[in-house]
Amino acid sequence: MSNSENVTPETYVVSAGRPAPEHDAPVNPPIVLSSTFRGSVPVDPVNDKVYARFNNPTWEGFEEIVAGLEGASEPGLSFASGMAAIASVLDLVPVGSTILMPKHAYMASVTIAEDLRRRGIAELVRLDIEDTDSVIEAMRAAATDAGMSAENVDYSAPKVLLWLESPTNPMLEVADLPTVLAEARKLGVVSAVDNTFASPLLQQPLKLGADVVVHSATKYLAGHSDVLLGVTATSNRALYEAMLHHRTTNGAIPGPFESWLALRGVRTLSLRVEKACENARFLAEKFQQHPAIREVRYPGLATDPGHERAAAQMSDFGSVLCVVLDADVEQTERVIDQLQVWTPATSLGGVESLVERRRRHGKEPASIPPSLVRLSVGIESADDLYEDFVRALAGLDK
């Protein structure tokens, strides 16, 4: 099955990316452990395998599924990590370019953009993505300075790149993606959306107007905290070829075994995401009532600033929420240490529930409250997760 439009996403993640339906064919694709492939005719660097840095059949099933879920017309491209996938987009900008990026975003993405700024390659402009008017104003200013329009875009070397997360990491701010992305297209601004927090089951930015989508496949797609992998999806041929060139020349390729694990993991994506979202909604609503919790950030709450936007452009609200404890740093860390069901760790999107005080990372901006705790909700019993957290919060009174 190669057409995701014929079936629901729940069926597609199970049915796609499998060998041709021939007699005695394996149900699952085999792992191909070869560093080189036979050939004697002139090389097609886009379509031929040639060498393991070019391609490997083991990648193809996973790439097919992600591209299909995102609605991409070009094949997906998998990478050695989420950061390798992110770099394949950010590194395209030429000298004198401008990168527009949310004020709250994944800190490693910001680090790449800051490195490009420090080296004199690109100007970095930080955005409040909840303020749509200011985002559009920043895009217009950058496009005008670069002499950009919809008619003169070089997608392989974008002079103005809009980098978005929605919801953002970790503040869970929600951008008005249809409005912002439509304006970017008019201005000749190339747009990229890190869709890791939503997964392609809940949000498809390409359909909302984005030029390229990026995922840390380590998170929801693979889903079991045992794979380091990234993936991109686009319907723009020039962007596809530029990212493929970046992957090939930089050697940012996934291992066959990691790709096989990711394909196995994505088969249960719909079940895992559905359960995790259900748990997150339950916890967000319960935590709102707890006196030791000063604030709950979750787009699924009707009181959340991003709720209406998220409801309009997402099919569910994700399974990451943040709580700001009525506590100092030492007390917050003590609460985390007392948890037994939750696992203190840096990641998200796995079957297990993870918890982390985000400001423990020195590069997180000061605008993130010191007692803000990011919760990646897994598929355990929601009651067990809640009771475990309540028991840990009880320690604040001691």
Whether 45 shows a pLDDT value over 90: the answer reads no
The one catalytic residue among 18, 49, 53, 360: 53
Average pLDDT over residues 300-309: 98
Whether 397 shows a pLDDT value over 70: the answer reads no
- Distances 342 to 169, 223, 338, 390 between C-alpha atoms, Å: 20, 16, 9, 12
pLDDT digits (tens, 9 = 90+) for 67-126: 999 999 999 999 999 999 999 999 999 999 999 999 999 999 999 999 999 999 999 999
- Take residue 2 and report the two structure tokens written for it: 């190669």
With tokens 């996973």, the residue in question is: 62
With tokens 């840096």, the residue in question is: 346
With tokens 């935590």, the residue in question is: 287
Residue type, 108: A
The one catalytic residue among 106, 220, 240, 298: 106
The one catalytic residue among 12, 211, 219, 357: 219
Is position 240 annotated as part of the catalytic site?
no
If one compares 365 and 113, the residue with the highest pLDDT of the two is 113
Whether 398 shows a pLDDT value over 60: the answer reads no
Is position 18 annotated as part of the catalytic site?
no
| H or E element at residue 64 | helix 57-70
**What's the confidence (pLDDT) of residue 1?**
55
Nearest to 69 by CA among 173, 175, 221: 221
- Take residue 167 and report the two structure tokens written for it: 């919801």
For residues 80 and 356, give the distance between their C-alpha atoms in angstroms, rounded to a whole number.
25
Assess contact for 20 and 34: CB atoms under 8 A: no
Indicate left, alpha or beta for 223 from its phi (over 0: left) and psi (-120 to 50: alpha). Answer: left
Mean of the per-residue pLDDT values for the chain? Answer: 96
Whether the ω angle into residue 170 lies within 30 degrees of 0, i.e. cis, is yes
Average pLDDT over residues 311-325: 98
Residue type, 321: L
Whether 3 shows a pLDDT value over 70: the answer reads no
**What's the confidence (pLDDT) of residue 168?**
98
Q: What are phi and psi of 18, to 5 degrees?
A: -115, 160
**What's the confidence (pLDDT) of residue 363?**
82
Nearest to 211 by CA among 198, 194, 199: 194
Whether 62 shows a pLDDT value over 60: the answer reads yes
Residue type, 313: Q
Average pLDDT over residues 217-238: 98
pLDDT digits (tens, 9 = 90+) for 191-226: 999 999 999 999 999 999 999 999 999 999 999 999
- Take residue 262 and report the two structure tokens written for it: 């990711």
Assess contact for 139 and 185: CB atoms under 8 A: no
Nearest to 100 by CA among 71, 69, 68, 129: 129
For residues 321 and 303, give the distance between their C-alpha atoms in angstroms, rounded to a whole number.
14
Burial label, 381 (beta-carbon count in 10 A; 0-12, 13-18, 19+): exposed
The SS3 call for residue 182 is: helix
Whether 324 shows a pLDDT value over 90: the answer reads yes
Is position 12 annotated as part of the catalytic site?
no
The one catalytic residue among 159, 176, 194, 374: 194
Q: At what angle do helices 382-394 and 329-338 cross, to 10 degrees?
A: 130
For residues 348 and 346, give the distance between their C-alpha atoms in angstroms, rounded to a whole number.
7
Q: Which residues contact 75 (CB under 8 A, 6 or more apart)?
A: 60, 63, 64, 67, 240
| Predicted TM-score of the model (pTM) | 0.95
- Take residue 324 and report the two structure tokens written for it: 């700001």
Residue 96, Cβ neighbours under 10 Å: how many?
A: 12
pLDDT digits (tens, 9 = 90+) for 247-277: 999 999 999 999 999 999 999 999 999 999 9
Whether the ω angle into residue 200 lies within 30 degrees of 0, i.e. cis, is no
Whether 304 shows a pLDDT value over 80: the answer reads yes
Indicate left, alpha or beta for 120 from its phi (over 0: left) and psi (-120 to 50: alpha). Answer: left
For residues 216 and 83, give the distance between their C-alpha atoms in angstroms, rounded to a whole number.
7
Whether 374 shows a pLDDT value over 60: the answer reads yes
Number of helical H runs and strand E runs in the chain: 12, 12
Residues forming beta bridges with residue 346, ordered by sequence position: none
Whether 2 shows a pLDDT value over 80: the answer reads no
Domains of the chain are 4-266 (3.40.640.10), 270-397 (3.90.1150.10)
Is position 44 annotated as part of the catalytic site?
no
